[in-house]
């Protein structure tokens, strides 16, 4: 059975004990990685630390760590700390976030995102490789900083979350991997091509850049409930101009006309109703485990070599996560294939 990862949303309905239980079950079921989100509420790093204490093999990644709210040195220090706590299993996933979250939520200025991310990756890469770093970039400058003896003994991969063409090319140019999200199946091949083009332009081997991405899945026989959950989740993301523009650019302009562009209306039924069946099928999958696995294999064939399932709640949140982890467990399907 090919690689499969798991995305956990940082929902407050889940206790730390719940998160640890899900992580342990994912590891026991053969998943290769767990990615923890960060928005508001609890930070991703402490949640990953809690998971690291109850697991021993599974990779642990930030999906993603917003870059504007942390300095390059703090980012590298956190990555070094989690690499140590996890025994070298940490993956540093970075992203620019979006203007409202940065400016309204953190009181910071959202400017030069591409340049900021490029500088950050350069600085963090050097620090995590034990170097003393002096860097004067277009957005960030540091002088003679290092992690000293705290620099990780092993490698800490750096992934970049990317939606649009420029960010996809940047990921190929400077990162160990790209982390896709809400990428339509019909756009996936083009997105991967852009990553490969970025790598080739930088003189890198494109095959060395991992293509990773979230797939929203609702493993259920109740198709109506699963589609409703997927509809509402897409609509919530579409209330952000950042994602709205992305959805428009990847073929869903008509659907976006019916979505309210306001976070005050994130659960507006009319907005959810605007997310038609075609958009749902392009961005996620709903159905029994066999249907979800078939979709995963289709995306792998296009080039998504490290898919990460992002469970959609149908019923209770923890129950939905557990049901999905078990239904798509790589070890279960690996054994079935050998019978």
pLDDT at 28 over 90: yes
Half-sphere exposure of 107 (CA within 13 A, CB side): 0
In the chain the domains, ranked by start, together with CATH numbers, are: 5-216+288-337 (3.20.20.30), 221-287 (no CATH)
- Angstrom distance (rounded) from CA 52 to CA 23: 9
- The one-character DSSP state at 156 is -
pLDDT tens-digit series, residues 254-292: 999 999 876 665 678 888 999 999 999 999 999 999 999
pLDDT tens-digit series, residues 76-110: 999 999 999 999 999 999 999 988 888 888 898 99
Q: What is the pLDDT of residue 18?
A: 97
Q: E strand or H helix at 69, and its extent?
A: none
Please name every residue paired with 141 in a beta bridge, in sequence order, or none if there are none. 136
Split at pLDDT 50, 70, 90, the class of 125 is very high
pLDDT tens-digit series, residues 30-51: 999 999 999 888 999 999 999 9
- Angstrom distance (rounded) from CA 309 to CA 155: 25
Q: What is the pLDDT of residue 262?
A: 63
Alpha helices in the chain (DSSP H): 16-28, 44-52, 72-85, 99-100, 106, 113-128, 165-174, 185-201, 223-238, 241-249, 253-257, 269-273, 277-283, 289-302, 317-327, 330-337
Q: What is the pLDDT of residue 258?
A: 92
pTM over 0.75: yes
Q: What is the pLDDT of residue 2?
A: 82
Split at pLDDT 50, 70, 90, the class of 1 is low
Q: Please check whether residue 291 is in contact with residue 327, taking contact to mean a CB–CB distance below 8 angstroms.
A: no
* 59 phi and psi angles, rounded to 5 deg: -70, 150
């Amino acid at each position: 059975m090919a690689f499969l990862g798991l995305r956990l949303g940082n929902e407050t309905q889940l206790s730390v004990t719940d998160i640890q239980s899900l992580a342990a079950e994912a590891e026991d079921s053969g998943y290769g990685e767990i990615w923890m989100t960060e928005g508001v509420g609890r930070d991703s790093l402490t949640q990953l630390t809690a998971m690291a204490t109850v697991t021993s093999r599974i990779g642990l990644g930030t999906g993603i760590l917003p870059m504007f709210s942390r300095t390059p040195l703090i980012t590298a220090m956190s990555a070094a700390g989690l690499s140590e706590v996890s025994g070298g299993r940490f993956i540093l996933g970075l992203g620019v976030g979006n203007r409202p979250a940065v400016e309204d939520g953190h009181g910071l200025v959202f400017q030069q995102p591409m340049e900021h991310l490029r500088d950050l990756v350069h600085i963090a890469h050097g620090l995590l490789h034990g170097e003393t770093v002096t860097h004067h970039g277009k957005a960030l400058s540091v002088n003679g900083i290092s992690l000293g003896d705290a620099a990780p003994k092993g490698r800490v991969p750096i992934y970049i979350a990317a939606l649009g063409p420029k960010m996809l090319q940047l990921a190929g140019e400077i990162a160990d991997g790209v982390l896709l999200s809400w990428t339509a199946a019909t756009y996936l091949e083009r997105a991967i091509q852009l990553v490969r083009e970025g790598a080739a332009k930088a003189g890198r081997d494109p095959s060395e850049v991992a293509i990773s991405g979230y797939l929203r899945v609702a493993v259920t026989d109740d198709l109506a409930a699963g589609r409703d959950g997927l509809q509402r989740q897409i609509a919530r993301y579409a209330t952000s101009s950042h994602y709205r523009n992305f959805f428009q650019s990847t073929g869903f302009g008509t659907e976006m006309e019916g979505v309210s562009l306001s976070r005050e209306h994130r659960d507006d039924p009319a907005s959810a109703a605007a997310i038609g069946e075609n958009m749902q099928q392009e961005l996620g999958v709903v159905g029994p485990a066999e249907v979800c696995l078939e979709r995963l294999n289709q995306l792998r064939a296009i080039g998504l070599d490290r898919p990460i399932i992002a469970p959609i709640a149908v019923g209770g949140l923890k129950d939905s996560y557990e049901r999905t982890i078990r239904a798509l467990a790589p070890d279960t399907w690996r054994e079935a294939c050998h019978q």
